[in-house]
Amino acid sequence: MKNAEEKIGNLYRQWEGVPAEKIIYLPVSGSYRRYFRLESHGKSVIGVYNEDRKENDAFFSFTKGFHGHSLPVPELLAADPDGETYLLTDLGDQTLFSYLSGIRKDDKDFPEDAIRIYRKVIDFLPLFQVVAGKELDYSKCYPRESFDRQSMMWDLNYFKYYFLKLAKVAYDEQKLEDDFNVLVEYLLSAGAGHFMYRDFQSRNIMLVNGEPFFIDYQGGRKGPLQYDIASLLYDAKASIPEDVRDLLLDHYLTVLQRYLPVDRQLFLQYYYGFVLIRILQALGAYGFRGYYENKPHFLKSIPFAVANLEYLLENKSLPVQLPMLLEVLKGIVQNPAFRHYTAPENQLTVTVSSFAYKAGIPADESGNGGGFVFDCRALPNPGRFEEYRIYNGKDAQIIDFLGKEPSVDEFLNHACSLADQSVIRYIERGFTSLVISFGCTGGQHRSVYCAEAMAQHIRTKFPMKVNINHTELDKKND
């Protein structure tokens, strides 16, 4: 099977009529979809590769439905017949979360401009839930058509198995299961007759010239109105102050009343139950990505979710008895390990080196081992010619010599393809170091040229730090 980048590149060429001049991998660590930015002639689009075709079908169907109501979502430009790759309009890089991070002084600061943007976002939510939601094809929903008992139990067990168990939080299994059933019965009585976006939070809202656009709604289904506004206002790292949450919740209910009658008291009776299940689902996700998949940056969100949990326990109560669940939640809130955890900011660094085989392969100073060592000695050697011996692989004369050799180009294409696979996987798994080395006889011509080409390839394609070392040349410069 062709790899993701090749399939995206082929689809772009079929759609645009010319190959993309540049394909840049965009790491997105919260899903298994792979995103690329493809650029040509000063324009860019986003390419998506996802092997889950049913999830893609849901996204395509919802996108069509939302466009039918002029909602600000990306335009589907093209899709491969196999259903695994598609192209979208490029909405840029600014999410609502990155906007907040840029304008806030601290977690208590929430400027008026931020409130204004949130009001704009909330203005659209009932349009998704009520207006467009009336006409969507819910048979395309994946994995469930509605936020039903099964969906809720999945979320609660996600929390149990990927947060509680992996974080070694003690509980009575049967009593906790009993409480889960009580909570689910209570939440089901709220009804589930409208579109539920499912992941309506600050990282799934893009800002384009200050206006909100909405992405990542492929998990949508029928559900209660309360869930999405709870997701937005109790988005962990957005850390919205409680008085602002109250203000924005009131704004949502006011806007919602334009589209259907709302019993505010009844709405609020269920609202904090959905806040609770959303926080538990988020903790399960942080545990799965952080503890199980070893992506430490997800663990950094745990203290923010726990702070939301603490507020809920101290200020709100539900009209059902959940003794074991409350005991577990109080234990989490009181545990310093969950309140003050700070994970290191893992950033992949790629180190590319050239070397002479007679001097040995350079040591991996990161201590991780692995990586790649490519042998350049089968390539044409400019060092055999007197006129090239004084130059090295960074000089124009050698670049011109080796750049004309088809075997060198083929060698580098294979090397870059192998390296790309590791870089993408290392980013997804939160690894911090990858070492790539090129060796030749003297460490002066072929290995230097190839190392420079590899470093340039990675710098162009991936947003990361790339170090380059030329072992033999550095010795001569010492």
Choose the final residue of a domain: 339, 373, 393.
339
The C-alpha angle with vertex 325 and arms to 321 and 329, in degrees rounded to 5, equals: 125
Query: Is residue 106 exposed (0-12), middle (13-18) or buried (19+ Cβ within 10 Å)?
Result: exposed
Q: Do 390 and 416 fall within a single domain?
A: yes
pLDDT given for residue 337 in this prediction: 86
Which residue, 59, 89, 119, sits at the end of a domain?
A: 89
pLDDT for the residue 2:
53
Pair 85, 101 in one domain: no
Q: What is the CATH number of the domain that holds 51?
A: 3.30.200.20
Total-model pTM: 0.79
Same domain, 434 and 299: no
329: left (phi over 0), alpha (psi -120 to 50) or beta: alpha
Distance CA 216, CA 402 (A): 45
Same domain membership, residue 138 and residue 70: no
CA-to-CA separations, 11 to 6, 75, 82, 326, in angstroms, rounded: 9, 16, 11, 51
Does the N-terminal peptide bond of residue 143 adopt cis geometry, omega within 30 degrees of 0? yes
Could you tell me if 186 and 291 lie in one domain? yes
Specify the pLDDT at position 114. 97
| One domain for residues 284 and 400 | no
Predicted local confidence at residue 236, as pLDDT: 93
Are residue 142 and residue 186 in the same domain, yes or no? yes
Q: Which domain holds residue 142?
A: 96-339
278 in a domain, yes or no?
yes
Instruction: Kindly state whether residues 322 and 377 are assigned to the same domain.
Output: no
Residues 104 and 186 in one domain: yes
Q: Return the pLDDT at 478.
A: 55
Q: Are residues 329 and 445 in the same domain?
A: no
Is 442 a member of any domain? yes
> What's the gap between Cα 267 and its chain centre?
32
For residue 167, tell me if it sits in a domain.
yes
Mean pLDDT of successive 10-residue segments in the chain (478 residues)?
82 95 81 91 95 96 98 98 96 94 89 97 98 97 96 98 94 98 98 96 96 97 98 95 97 98 96 98 93 80 95 96 98 90 67 94 77 96 94 95 96 94 84 93 97 93 87 80
| 344, part of any domain | no
CA atoms within 13 A on the CB side of 300: 10
Q: Are residues 173 and 266 in the same domain?
A: yes
Are both 308 and 355 inside the same structural domain? no
Other beta carbons within 10 Å of 193: 15
Q: Is 375 exposed, middle or buried (0-12, 13-18, 19+ CB in 10 A)?
A: middle
285, 317, 339 — which closes off a domain?
339
Give the residue from 361, 350, 375 showing the smallest Cα distance to 466. Answer: 350
According to the model, what pLDDT value does residue 107 have? Answer: 81
Residue type at position 223: G
**Is 131 inside any structural domain?**
yes
> Does the residue 194 lie in any domain?
yes
In the sheet that holds 34-40, the strands lie side by side as: 22-26, 34-40, 43-49, 85-89, 76-79
CA distance 24 to 445: 29
Q: Provide Rg for the chain, Cα atoms.
A: 26
Q: Please tell me the predicted confidence (pLDDT) of residue 343.
A: 47
Is residue 285, in this structure, part of any structural domain at all?
A: yes
In the chain, the number of structural domains is 3
- Asked if residue 170 is part of any domain, the answer here is yes
Beta strands at 433-440 and 349-356: parallel, antiparallel or unpaired: parallel
Rounded Cα–Cα distance for residues 60 and 475 (Å): 57
Q: What per-residue string of b and e applies to 125-160 under the rule 16 or more CB within 10 Å gives b?
A: bbbbbbbbbeebebebbbebebbeeebbbebbebbb
